[in-house]
Structure 1
Amino acid sequence: MNPIFLYSISIVLASLSLNSVAEVDEEVTVVGTRTERSINDLASTVNVISSDRIEEELTRDISDLVRFEPGVSVGGTGSRFGLSGFSIRGIGGNRVLTMVDGIRIPAEYSFGGFMDARRDFVDIDSLSRAEIARGPVSSVWGSDALGGVVSFTTKSPQDFLQDSERSYVSAKAGYSSVDASTLGTLTLAGGNETVSGMLIYTRRDGEETENAGGNSDLGPGRESPDEQDIETNNILAKLSWAPSEGHKLTISVDHFESETNTNIGSDAGTSVFGTRINSRNTDDEKDRTRYSLSYHFDGEFPLASQVRASIYHQESESIQLLTESRTPPPFIANQTRTRLSTFAQEIDGITIQATKQLEIGETEHTIVYGMDYYETSVETLRNGGIVDSAGVAVPERLPFPTRGFPTTEVENLAFFLQDEISLLDGKLLLTPGVRFDDFEANPVGDAIYLDPRQGNPEPSPFDDSEVSAKLGALYRFTDSLSAFAVYSEGFRAPPFDDVNVGFTNFASGYTTLPNPDLESETSESWEVGLRLSGDYYSASLAAFTNDYEKFIESFSAVGFDPFRGLLLFQSINRGEVEIDGAELKIDADLEGIGLDNFSFRGAIAYAEGEDLENDTPLNSIEPLTAVFGLAYDAPSGKWGSNLVWTLVKNKDINDIDNPLIPGAPVNPRNIGRLPTAGYGILDLMAFYKFNEKFEINVAVYNLTDKEYIRWIDTGSIGLDSAQRFTQPGINGSITLRFTL
């Protein structure tokens, strides 16, 4: 770890005054321990993004959501498939658990160049908050919490029915120049202490996201983004019933759907196995629907003082259609090729969690225990064909329809136990926790998967179990100063598509093999931290080291089949990865230095990672990033503004595994990653409340019109023009909200 960096942020912390007069608000989180806790009482690092902050920053999507969260990122620039999942401290994809109201978001799945189902299934306007747990937390949440957890909580009727209000109606409209998108949200809520309900509907229409590119030429040299039309709809409905004090039942329905039409101009004029690609157009649809029934109990009986239980069903589907005009040798007549890929998941589950507070001698205990059970069904199908200009079918070497893996049922049963122990009159807080997960995958080899032309073997079932542990400690030296340390473990069960992947491409000369002997990926994390808090400020400093083992490498070359003349590929467990880093966060009310109504926030994230087996840098690590914000809120509360400065260090050749050096020869089979320059950008946000019923929010992003490429997006550049992956120049957003 960079010693100069650690020394510098230590000086910043030490320079904070301990004098006090006006308390900084404390943030409350659930994701760290499954119980409501102040962030200052956690022996770990958690960030909370409130709905107020979402509104003030004019957040449109999950990428905007973490715009000002160093160490957390979302990629997807320049892709037809849209935004990818979250990356936390250099670990991303399905290694970060993402949930909505405690229910897992569908997993990512990709196959070849025409299928990439991603995890952008949430509309931001439906959220009351987002919580981000950094580092492994499988002792709390189980599989996939290898790199961290992103937990979304949707809005509820109680968020709108304050005090004696019995009804609430609001309409919100917005526009963003960055993608010419319009937004409309209607919110209805009503009820009383016994029965309450809510309905939120959001519609978004937009186009491709702007960049700093120049030409709109067809082909890989294209700098402008590929043209897109995007439409999304989201409905969230809830009905709550509180039959008596301490008891509440809530029925929730959440439906999200999105359709994106793309003209992939950057592919026009390219060649695949000697065939010229004239044009490619895609129609990609995805949807997610969730039904859940939750029960909350708050009271006292021998086994629990609080119970949280839910039963749920969720289904999702990604449908991706490609229509391609192509001209094969001798380049006389055109053909039309189609590829239709689907990926569907269904999950049914039940969660029961109980909390009991006890006093044993001079110690206080908050015991959390319970079980999670969920059953997931996953299925994929690929179909396609080629017709000539006369509409006559052209034979293909690939058999259709086909599956990349057999339809699979996955069962997971888990039991967890955690004890928050308060000692020494509350000065010392110990939090041991343990979780046992048992999982089993049962594939079904149907006629499509076992088509003799495909050559797939009979799929193999898979079962395994994991025990994940955690031990955290927090010590309060004074009311203003505390320190924490935590050891935690994480794991990810082998994915269904790695255990039983099945695909043979005779044209390219390779086949894939299943591997029922795969082991779970595991991680161990050590983190220490220091927190300072006063009436004018709060600050935290954390340093961590994470060790990851048995990472699964998909489609690794394992040999050659001389009988069929095919290369053999298989998913296998690889060696070790280590990630070290440090993070600093400061929030301050500047009234203490005479700047009334001004506030400051700052955050810095630094990490370095290494593949210990190959002794190479880890390309998933983001560069050193800092975010500083200065806000002003008028004494009247009618208006305010926030200026945010984001600074990102360059990513140079020495920090990259297989760097792409400009001007050097390029291996088309292993292109490498382009180094990125450092950059700084300024964003300005403001609001004005005309009255209690009408409010306007505006934002101007990238005030200096800076041209830059984010490191997370360089993995998608390939042989295309890097300009197409630049971020937008100066752009603006506006929203208007009217409340009855």
Structure 2
Amino acid sequence: MLISGLGLPRALLLVCATTCGCNAFAAVDAEPSPDEIVVVANKQARSLRDVAAYVTVIERAALDKQLAVSASDMFRYTPGVDVEAAGTRFGGEGISIRGIGGNRVAILIDGVPLADQIKVGSFSNATRDFLNAGFTQRVEVLHGPASALYGSSAIGGVVAVSTPDPADIAAAGSSGGNAQLMRHQADSSLHGVGTIALNHNDRGLLLAASYRDGSEEPSAAVPDALDSRDYLRRAALVKFVLDNTGIGTLRFNAIHQDAVVDSDLASFLGSGRYRSTTALLGDDQYRMQLVSAAWEFGDGSGWFDQGILRSYYQEAQTRQLTTDVRSNAMRPVSIERYFDFEQSTRGIEFNLHRGIDTGAIKHRIGAGLEYRLRRSEEFRNGSETGIQDGLSSNVVLGEVFPLRDFPRSETREFGAFIEDSVDIGDLTVIAGVRADRFELRPQDDTMFAENYPFAKPVRVAESDLSPKLALTYHQGERTDLYLQYTEGFRAPPYEDANIGLDVPLFNSRAVPNPDLKSEHSKGLEFGTRWQGERLRLHAAVFRTDYSNFIESRVRIGTDPDSGRILFQARNRDSATIEGLEAGGEWHFSGALRGLSVDGSLYRPRGENRDSGQALNSVGPAQAVLGVNWQQADHARSIRLQATATDAWDRRDESAGELFKPAGHVVLDVYFSQALTERLTLRASVRNLNDKTWWNWSGVRGLAPDDVLLPYLAQPGRTLSVGIQMNW
């Protein structure tokens, strides 16, 4: 059922099914490693052969060859992992894995969680777009629910990003560095990143900085873009590593990122709610700061083998100003809307691991504790000023500003997990459970109380267990099988539990819900891996059932006192997402040595079990195929990349007809040439076949006649060039 009706272009599908390629660009520089190591699946370094889950790994070398600068670049060739888009103003919002996105996916940088995404109406969107490809050494993606290890924030999966250590840049006892400069035609952007490192004896220091400025991307569907978007992004990374065999390894790192985006949204003008608007301008600012300290240690006394103690602090702030000039209104006015969202997170994590060998049976035990304190504060302001009379008011469309959409909130999360991997010959039984306590504490907030006297904030206290049971079986030296059952949960978030809204113009009001329950998931996955001398294959089928999905702003009736239409966050949907993922790579030998083929296949299906309708968060099937040639001395490489996406026609249109992006094949080509031992030139042509296509995640809620659709198509054929110097 999952494979029938796939509808991908025949040629690419047949080749991809034969080669079963893995994540594009992964391990194209060498023959398949016999023992690839991953951390994200067990919070401990394990051979991929021992992992009972589908994990994608993206290395630094792959990102360099791809001329990657953004999160969209990082996951461009990873089917099933999508960067959610938010139109021509806000760009990328967050990351979706197997159709589950938003704050249901844990995004970690060096083990530190990123801030939440918050969206309020059309003019306010605090995104999670803080991933910097220039500071990325390695990415590990754990597909599917991972609450048994990572708690409430990982019901959709985990994206774990690691920044480089000094030892990744400079050899032992020396100093080194690299610098990259890239130019992308698609958004006329210039990107520069520089890194220097000192790696002397048991101490290492790394300093890195990046800069990127650009503009809006063109649309292949229209000759000229109506919306303009000029941006500037800057970032800095500092990392100090002390590696002393007596005390273990200490890592201290700090990251600062900021961005400024100016937009002119002309495509909205003259239609719908903007029919009298003559100018719509956006002025957005983003900032993220992260500091962490981690101690990795071992114990020779036998109590444990290794452990890690990590503490961190992360804060993010979004400030957005929207100017709406309505010169064609009966009373010409200029409307300004201001949005501010700040969130800080403090946390500590402590994990221990120990191996016990009893002869025929071996145990690998992991256990850990985690505490996280998160403070969130949101604020909106607005004014309406007459263009001719100069009179100003703080009432806009019936809303009285300033206001908050939820009270200042504090969430506390306590988690403890234990996992035991029991090796019995070629069979391994993995059993684990995580206990979580989640507390939402709304703070005293005079502004919220005055804005919404009818909305009494509620406290939420939830406790839950997330068990996991898995089997792995090594059938000889080449074939591995695994079966995994896991449960997950997500506690009610502050913005849903305590929403407050009152818009007299639309006769609507939103109120808190004291009875909101946690979301839950139950997932089953079966997978296999096979590895030969030059060929590697893997595949998995999965099914996850979700219950008590929280839907924001559900209409619940009419308030008898005010006559307002009432809205509230409610537990509504029970859903199922199932599918197939497959991958592999093939390195040729003999006369074809240096040639390799890889690719990937993703076929999902999502259904709302309450209504029988499709889930609109689950995208179309996709296949990726890459053909790579590399010179024997690695000085030159050429790569042809094909991405085929099925037509997205299985949709829930019960609320109205939706735009259905057509199926398409996009070809990209990448070239790399070492000019000297230290200097490398790279170039790429994306959308070589100049196809007009839409990214499904960027248009999933739009009607076929939406005026924005032509401007949301992806760019046509574009060129990128880059140069890298190492020393």
TM-score over 0.5 (shorter chain) = yes
2:632 is the alignment partner of 1:635: yes
Q: What is the CA distance between 1:22 and its match in structure 2? A: 6.5
CA contact (8 A) 2:394 2:401 kept: no
Aligned position for 1:664 = none
Instruction: Measure, in 1, the Cα distance between the counterparts of 2:597 and 2:382.
Output: 56
Instruction: Measure, in 2, the Cα distance between the counterparts of 1:257 and 1:25.
Output: 41
Aligned position for 2:416 = 415
Letter in 2 for 1:88: I
In the TM superposition, what whole-angstrom CA distance separates every residue of 1:83-106 from its partner, at most 9, and x where no partner exists?
021111111111111111111111
**Which of 692, 701, 710 pairs up with 2:677?**
692
CA contact (8 A) 1:46 1:132 kept: yes
2:254 is the alignment partner of 1:253: yes
Instruction: Measure, in 1, the Cα distance between the counterparts of 2:73 and 2:400.
Output: 42
Aligned runs of 1:37-436 on 2, under 5 Å? 37-76=46-85, 78-164=87-173, 166-214=174-222, 216=224, 224=225, 226-245=227-246, 247-272=248-273, 276-327=276-327, 329-330=329-330, 333-389=331-387, 390-394=389-393, 396=395, 397-424=398-425, 427-436=426-435
In the TM superposition, what whole-angstrom CA distance separates every residue of 1:409-448 from its partner, at most 9, and x where no partner exists?
1000110101121111xx1122111100101011024111
CA contact (8 A) 2:435 2:463 kept: yes
Which runs of 5 or more residues in structure 1 are unaligned? Answer: 16-20, 217-223, 660-669
Letter in 2 for 1:209: E
Q: What is the CA distance between 1:302 and its match in structure 2? A: 3.2
Instruction: Measure, in 2, the Cα distance between the counterparts of 1:521 and 1:299.
Output: 39
Instruction: Measure, in 2, the Cα distance between the counterparts of 1:724 and 1:468.
Output: 44
Letter in 2 for 1:278: T
**Which of 681, 689, 692 pairs up with 2:666?**
681
Question: SS state of the match for residue 53, structure 1?
Answer: helix
Q: What is the CA distance between 1:501 and its match in structure 2? A: 0.5
Instruction: Measure, in 2, the Cα distance between the counterparts of 1:191 and 1:9.
Output: 45
Instruction: Measure, in 1, the Cα distance between the counterparts of 2:300 and 2:586.
Output: 39
Letter in 1 for 2:186: V
Aligned position for 2:27 = none
CA contact (8 A) 1:210 1:225 kept: no
Letter in 1 for 2:277: I
Aligned runs of 1:532-543 on 2, under 5 Å? 532-543=530-541
Instruction: Measure, in 2, the Cα distance between the counterparts of 1:130 and 1:97.
Output: 13
Question: SS state of the match for residue 448, structure 1?
Answer: helix
Question: SS state of the match for residue 385, structure 2?
Answer: strand
CA contact (8 A) 1:74 1:87 kept: yes
CA contact (8 A) 1:27 1:48 kept: no
Count residues with an aligned counterpart: 709
Letter in 2 for 1:295: W
Higher RCO, 1 vs 2 (CA within 8 Å, ≥6 residues apart) = 2
Q: What is the CA distance between 1:601 and its match in structure 2? A: 0.4
Instruction: Measure, in 1, the Cα distance between the counterparts of 2:419 and 2:103.
Output: 25
Aligned position for 2:594 = 597
In the TM superposition, what whole-angstrom CA distance separates every residue of 1:325-345 from its partner, at most 9, and x where no partner exists?
114753xx5211100001110
In the TM superposition, what whole-angstrom CA distance separates every residue of 1:282-312 from its partner, at most 9, and x where no partner exists?
1111111011111111342332111111111
CA contact (8 A) 1:211 1:225 kept: no
What RMSD, in angstroms, separates the aligned Cα atoms of the two structures?
2.2
Question: SS state of the match for residue 276, structure 1?
Answer: coil
CA contact (8 A) 2:203 2:243 kept: yes
Task: Describe the shift of the 1:65–1:46 C-alpha distance in structure 2 as closer, same or farther (beyond 3 A).
Answer: same
Aligned position for 1:720 = 707
Q: What is the CA distance between 1:516 and its match in structure 2? A: 2.1
**Which of 21, 25, 36 pairs up with 1:27?**
36
In the TM superposition, what whole-angstrom CA distance separates every residue of 1:374-402 from its partner, at most 9, and x where no partner exists?
10000000001111124321352322110
Letter in 2 for 1:431: I
Aligned position for 1:495 = 493
Instruction: Measure, in 2, the Cα distance between the counterparts of 1:598 and 1:205.
Output: 36
Q: What is the CA distance between 1:365 and its match in structure 2? A: 1.2
In the TM superposition, what whole-angstrom CA distance separates every residue of 1:441-479 from its partner, at most 9, and x where no partner exists?
11024111011x533423111111110011111111111
Question: SS state of the match for residue 87, structure 2?
Answer: coil
Aligned runs of 1:493-642 on 2, under 5 Å? 493-591=491-589, 594-642=591-639
Question: SS state of the match for residue 723, structure 1?
Answer: helix
Instruction: Measure, in 2, the Cα distance between the counterparts of 1:240 and 1:5.
Output: 52
Instruction: Measure, in 1, the Cα distance between the counterparts of 2:31 and 2:521.
Output: 41
Task: Describe the shift of the 1:270–1:474 C-alpha distance in structure 2 as closer, same or farther (beyond 3 A).
Answer: same
Aligned position for 2:463 = 465
Aligned position for 1:657 = 652
Instruction: Measure, in 2, the Cα distance between the counterparts of 1:10 and 1:191.
Output: 43
Instruction: Measure, in 1, the Cα distance between the counterparts of 2:257 and 2:124.
Output: 20
Aligned position for 2:441 = 442
Letter in 2 for 1:449: F
Normalized against structure 2, the TM-score is what?
0.94
Letter in 2 for 1:189: A
Question: SS state of the match for residue 589, structure 2?
Answer: helix
Letter in 1 for 2:644: L
Letter in 1 for 2:557: G
In the TM superposition, what whole-angstrom CA distance separates every residue of 1:512-550 from its partner, at most 9, and x where no partner exists?
110122111111110111211100111011111110000
Which runs of 5 or more residues in structure 2 are unaligned? Answer: 7-12, 22-29
Question: SS state of the match for residue 324, structure 2?
Answer: strand
CA contact (8 A) 2:167 2:199 kept: no
Instruction: Measure, in 2, the Cα distance between the counterparts of 1:650 and 1:497.
Output: 34
CA contact (8 A) 2:378 2:405 kept: yes
Instruction: Measure, in 1, the Cα distance between the counterparts of 2:20 and 2:44.
Output: 32
Q: What is the CA distance between 1:511 and its match in structure 2? A: 0.5
CA contact (8 A) 2:172 2:199 kept: no
Task: Describe the shift of the 1:671–1:182 C-alpha distance in structure 2 as closer, same or farther (beyond 3 A).
Answer: farther
CA contact (8 A) 1:56 1:697 kept: yes
CA contact (8 A) 1:107 1:118 kept: yes
CA contact (8 A) 2:56 2:140 kept: yes
Aligned runs of 1:698-737 on 2, under 5 Å? 698-718=683-703, 719-737=706-724
Q: What is the CA distance between 1:207 and its match in structure 2? A: 0.3
Task: Describe the shift of the 1:356–1:728 C-alpha distance in structure 2 as closer, same or farther (beyond 3 A).
Answer: same
Aligned position for 1:18 = none
Identity across the alignment (%): 29
